[in-house]
Chains A and B, each alone.
Chain A
Amino acid sequence: MSEPIYQLDQVAKAYEGRQVLSIKHLAVQQGEILAVVGPSGAGKSTLLRLLNFLEPPSSGVIRFMGVRFGAAGSVPLSLRRRVTTVFQRPVLLNRNVQANVAYGLRLRRQQRGNALVEAALQQVGLEAMARQHARTLSGGEAQRVALARAMVLHPDVLLLDEPTANLDPYNVRLIEEIVCQLNREQSTTVVLVTHNVFQARRLAHRVMLLLEGQLIEVADTTTFFESPEDSRTRSFVCGELVY
């Protein structure tokens, strides 16, 4: 296996002295889909914020593509721009669909933007809505725009924070398919936070469980669901499956 894209060592995050995340070691492999599951408040979103370099860890080191990111450090812009996040609730700019999808490219002053935007809109099935104002979109359409806005950047890492939590089954399926395709065709590394264990099972190569900020277990998907090592994983999986 090649060098992991992320390597976390003794990474902790505290807010006002309260520790909400503490991970002794975690490696994210290049090109994998890693699902992060755990109850609400477990620190899943916090982990994604660290992985997108939106906040530094309180202690420990995150190594990304070989570059160290610690409590004091900042990540060079060019490296930070290889990662992006789609959040649970899409936050679109007060502009039309096309301008929203083009936004990240414009930040990078990228030429040939129009063709890329068009391709991304096609991928999410919204090419007909390019001129429509973001305000007028349904929840599912807005989330697809947010996904297109991230995909158009061809990130090395796509972080997804419960991207389908508020969506109807049709849009959930659509987004799952796009994410799989992206991972398959462009080897985009995906870290997917979800509270839906079925979704984790459908999409992920590996799954990890977070409880109260602690990494309980990370294993390939089959092992995680069928023969987990930790009893807490078993009860989490079962507990969730009962729902």
Chain B
Amino acid sequence: MEEIIQGFIEAVRLIASGDPGLVAIIVLSLRVSGIALLFSTMAGIPVGSLLGLSRFPGRKLVIALLYTGMGFPPVVVGLFVYLALSRNGPIGQIGWDALPALFTPGAMIVAQTIIAFPLVAGFTMAAVMGVDPNLRRQVRALGATRAQTVWTILSEARLGVVVSIIAGFGSIISEVGAVMLVGGNIEHRTRVLTTAIVLETRKGNFDLAMALGIILLALSFLANAAMLRLQGKTFDE
């Protein structure tokens, strides 16, 4: 209990002080997870819609893979990305400058995109499948094109779609194993909130670790609240 209260006081003090090291960690956390979320949403919503709304050979298999991905240990994703990007790995070997290198924010974005994607796609699929199947026929009968039909179904399933994005965000902003592996927790370069918490806890700086934890909680709360608000604004008439 003592630590929690101390941590809370320390958190307030840290935030108030505007410590540049802390600000850099927060900004990097949000940037890495934000960009990864953007990518996984851009891929996950179309894939989820496709799986939910159409029938094609191999669909069941893809869904099974997606469900596996939703429960996949992030650290294993981190390991794959690590191996792929390392100098001898299949992608590292190509040696393009544009490809992300290990121990950079780019590598962390790659790992987090892969972690969040199945969650966004899977929950979007479930949301879309929950929409009254008769709606589709009615919307077509009112003259919707294929794209307009999909858009209408997504906007009917909007709450579920936003939840899919929130689930994706939650899975990566709080993730530690993969970013530790591929980012390396390098000060000023790849240190994010979760890896900083691990480090400070190991060093015995429980106040600071707790403060970072509270900041992380507050950030993800704010991000989720913002997304839910946005959902109301985008789709309501």
Contacts and interface: CB of A to CB of B under 8 A. Distances in A.
B56 to A, nearest CB: 18
Interface stretch (B29-37, B82-90, B97-105, B142-150): B142-150
Interface of B: 132, 134-135, 137-145, 148, 152, 156, 236-237
Interface of B (DSSP majority class):
helix
A91 B143 contact: no
Nearest to A159: B141
A8 B237 CA distance: 41
A91 B138 contact: yes
Contacts of B148: 107
Given A91-B135, A95-B237, A107 B141 contact: no
A89 B137 CA distance: 12
B237 A98 contact: yes
A77 B141 contact: no
Nearest to A150: B142
A80 interface: yes
A64 interface: no
Interface string A32-57: 00000000000000000100101000
Given A80-B143, A107-B144, A107-B148, A87 B237 contact: no
A149 B156 contact: no
Interface of A: 49, 52, 54, 77, 80-81, 83-85, 87, 89, 91, 93-96, 98-99, 103-104, 107-108, 149-150, 153, 159
Contacts of B137: 49, 54, 87, 91
A126 to B, nearest CB: 16
Contact of B142 (A77, A89, A107): A107
A107 B145 CA distance: 8
A104 B134 contact: no
Given A93-B152, A107-B148, A81 B143 contact: yes
